[in-house]
């Protein structure tokens, strides 16, 4: 039906309802036709009919989508009808007519019932008869609060989604056996398995906007006992802003199961040192570097310089940021290798950044065991080049992206990261630039991380390869890691190593099991095989060693490590004699140096002499 025909239909329908309501009211209460004047009745009908259409237009009763009607629409009907009756009474008083109070009250009652009934009849018909219930998937909604109600209403109002809510699950015992929008609350989260089996559930939606990571993990573990894959409603803020629909459910991700809440930023502190400033990010095309760029741009820097060696990755983040901040921020893509000292100094001199985030690094542990010289050249000398350029050109803050693998490292990658920390801690003693480092654990979804590998193995049908059944790692999300890096820049005074309280370490085998079930498979179908430790790997990681720990956090969930760099002489020796060292000497030297053990300097010296 066209809009014009729809309006005409509703006007004619309401006119018929008004005439019917007032006719029956007077007929019931005044059965004797002589008991009232035809003139009085006719004029009252005309006035009531006119006023109804006036107030119906004012309250937009002809413009509402009644298939989505709720309490607000009922109030609009009541208001329009009430004002129409009051207006009719005032008319009768003004012209000296007798007031037929009971008849008008009965008219009001019939009017509301018939107008409301005619509107809601369409919704009932649409909900009950136009839906193909046999083809609709049965949905169990976790959470009977505002989020769950919002989801249920959205599913009712959009039958084309093919989803029918049949029950709620809520841990509030007071809601048990209550009905919300006609949907029963079936029990608590402990009864998810029974509810799925009893009500033949096809889909589970977690609809608790305020839910913690710990609660998501607990609920997910219950859902995993069924054959139904759970999903989560979108962020309520995104829904309110109109960015997504309530029904845009997403799959539960590994990030949701980490079991801790993300770090909240000190917005004012970050804005003070980033807003309207020039920011430079090395490794800007990488997983962490690109996310740092995204987060930084939210604070409206004057200029952001994207430095990277790979043109494709720099092109990608450059185009992404330009689409979002083209008119607000000057974005400068720079192709350059941090090992190229001349190029790095040129870039620093040209752009004179206020803040530098150094995210460029080689980070793959087994790969660096085979290529120790490249690890040193990039992670140590590259860091030295960028840091000394910052010192030379008066950069305000330099933040090094370090790793938990820098603590007591048995491998080359971790050792080079620890030596890079030593380099900037040495510079911090005499430089006006604030040099700080940030350590965090494994980053979920970053390039070279275990998650993409596991996903690829699952897609191939398995098995998923885990090195050891007892291996544990700390995990965090890419946005979380990036926020910590940004926050560290505002907290640092020079020489500190910041560490995130990452909660409890996660068993890699448990991570693999969760990823298999999240992908819609059973662990038994995909399988898990154990391949043994790879070169340079540890069974567990540490974030700070005993000598470095400050007991109290300097910011919620952020700890600070004590500055320890008593190996300055050894660091200088490495930097001066690196080119003369054999590959096997490089490996031994950097691992011993990073662990503060007596180095092989003299042994190396003897080899050089011989």
The residues that are catalytic are: 405
Helix residue ranges per DSSP H, 179-212: 192-198
What are the CA-CA distances from residue 516 to residues 221, 258, 442, 472, 521 (Å)?
A: 13, 16, 19, 18, 6
For the chain, how big is the Rg over CA atoms in Å? 35
**Per-position DSSP letters for 216-259, written without gaps between them:** HHHHHHHHTTSSSPEEEPPPHHHHHTTSS-TT--EE--GGGGS-
Dihedral class, residue 494 (left if φ above 0, else alpha if ψ from -120 to 50, else beta): left
Rounded-to-integer distance, Cα 494 and Cα 347, Å = 23
DSSP state of 580: G
Rounded-to-integer distance, Cα 539 and Cα 474, Å = 12
DSSP state of 275: T
Rounded-to-integer distance, Cα 265 and Cα 557, Å = 11
Q: Quick count: other Cβ atoms within 10 Å of Cβ 515?
A: 22
**Per-position DSSP letters for 521-568, written without gaps between them:** --HHHH-EEE--PPTT--SS--SS-TTTB-SS-SBTTEEEEPP--TTH
Q: What is the largest CA-CA distance in the chain?
A: 133
β-strand pairing of 330-335 with 183-187: unpaired
Question: In this structure, what token pair is assigned to residue 448?
Answer: 């070279």
Rounded-to-integer distance, Cα 230 and Cα 218, Å = 12
β-strand pairing of 303-308 with 330-335: parallel
Rounded-to-integer distance, Cα 57 and Cα 61, Å = 6
CA-CA-CA-CA dihedral for 65, 69, 73, 77, to nearest 10: 80
What are the CA-CA distances from residue 371 to residues 283, 391, 583, 587 (Å)?
A: 20, 29, 8, 9
- Give bridge partners of residue 305 from the DSSP assignment: 280, 332
Rounded-to-integer distance, Cα 89 and Cα 99, Å = 7
What are the CA-CA distances from residue 458 to residues 255, 412, 444, 451 (Å)?
A: 18, 30, 17, 11
How many angstroms separate the first and last alpha carbons of the chain?
97
Report yes or no: 121 and 183 within 8 Å, Cβ to Cβ.
no
* Edge-to-edge strands, sheet with 558-561: 330-335, 303-308, 278-282, 355-358, 397-401, 434-439, 497-500, 558-561
């Amino acid at each position: 039906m066209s809009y014009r025909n729809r309006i005409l239909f509703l006007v004619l329908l309401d006119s018929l309802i008004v005439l019917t309501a007032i006719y029956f009211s007077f007929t019931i209460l005044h059965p004797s036709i002589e008991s009232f004047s035809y003139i009085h009745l006719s004029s009252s009908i005309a006035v009531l009919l006119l006023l109804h259409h006036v107030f119906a237009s004012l309250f937009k009763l002809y413009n509402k989508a009644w298939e989505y009607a709720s309490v607000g629409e009922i109030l609009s009907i009541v208001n329009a009808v009430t004002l129409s009756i009051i207006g009719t009474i005032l008319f009768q008083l003004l012209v000296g007519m007798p007031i037929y109070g009971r008849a008008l009250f009965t008219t009001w009652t019939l009017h509301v019932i018939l107008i409301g009934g005619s509107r809601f009849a369409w919704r009932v018909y649409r909900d009950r008869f136009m839906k193909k219930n046999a083809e609709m998937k049965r949905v169990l909604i976790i959470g009977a609060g505002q989020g769950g109600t919002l989801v249920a209403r959205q599913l009712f109002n959009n039958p084309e989604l093919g989803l029918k809510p049949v029950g709620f699950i809520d841990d509030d015992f007071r809601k048990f056996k209550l009905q919300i929008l006609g949907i029963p609350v079936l029990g608590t989260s402990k009864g998810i398995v029974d509810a799925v089996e009893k009500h033949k559930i096809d889909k589970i939606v977690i609809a608790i906007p305020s839910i913690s990571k710990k609660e998501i993990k607990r609920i997910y573990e219950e859902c995993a006992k069924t054959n139904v894959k759970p999903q989560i409603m979108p962020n309520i803020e995104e829904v309110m802003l109109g960015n997504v629909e309530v029904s845009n459910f997403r799959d539960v991700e590994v990030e949701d199961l980490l079991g801790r809440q993300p770090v909240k930023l000190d917005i004012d502190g970050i804005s003070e040192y980033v807003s309207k400033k020039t920011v430079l990010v090395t490794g800007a095309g990488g997983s962490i570097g690109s996310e740092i760029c995204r987060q930084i741009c939210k604070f409206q820097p004057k200029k952001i310089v994207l430095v990277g060696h790979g043109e494709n990755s720099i092109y990608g983040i450059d185009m992404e940021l330009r689409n979002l901040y083209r008119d607000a921020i000057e974005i400068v893509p720079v192709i350059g290798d941090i090992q190229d000292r001349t190029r790095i100094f040129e870039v620093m001199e040209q752009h004179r950044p206020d803040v530098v985030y150094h995210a460029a690094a080689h980070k793959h542990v087994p790969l660096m065991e085979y290529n120790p010289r490249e690890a040193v050249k990039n992670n140590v000398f590259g860091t030295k080049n960028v840091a000394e350029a910052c010192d030379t050109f008066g950069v305000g803050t330099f933040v090094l992206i370090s790793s938990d693998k820098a603590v007591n490292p048995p491998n080359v990658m971790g050792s080079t990261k620890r030596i890079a920390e030593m380099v900037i801690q040495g510079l911090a003693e005499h430089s006006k630039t604030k040099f700080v480092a940030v350590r965090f654990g494994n980053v979920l979804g970053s390039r070279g991380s275990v998650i993409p590998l596991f996903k690829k193995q699952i897609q191939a049908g398995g098995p998923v390869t885990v090195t050891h059944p007892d291996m544990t790692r700390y995990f965090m999300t890419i946005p979380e890691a990036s926020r910590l890096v940004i926050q560290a820049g505002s907290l640092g005074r020079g020489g500190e190593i910041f560490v995130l309280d990452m909660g409890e370490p996660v068993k890699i085998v448990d991570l693999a099991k969760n990823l298999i079930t999240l992908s819609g498979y059973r662990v038994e179908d995909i399988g898990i095989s154990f391949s043994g430790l790879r070169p340079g790997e540890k069974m567990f990681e540490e974030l700070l060693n005993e000598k470095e720990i400050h007991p109290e956090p300097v910011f919620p969930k952020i700890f600070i490590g004590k500055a320890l760099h008593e190996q300055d002489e050894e660091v200088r020796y490495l930097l001066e004699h690196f080119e003369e060292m054999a590959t096997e000497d490089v490996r031994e030297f950097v691992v011993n140096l990073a662990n503060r053990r007596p180095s092989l300097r003299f042994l190396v010296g003897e080899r050089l002499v011989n």
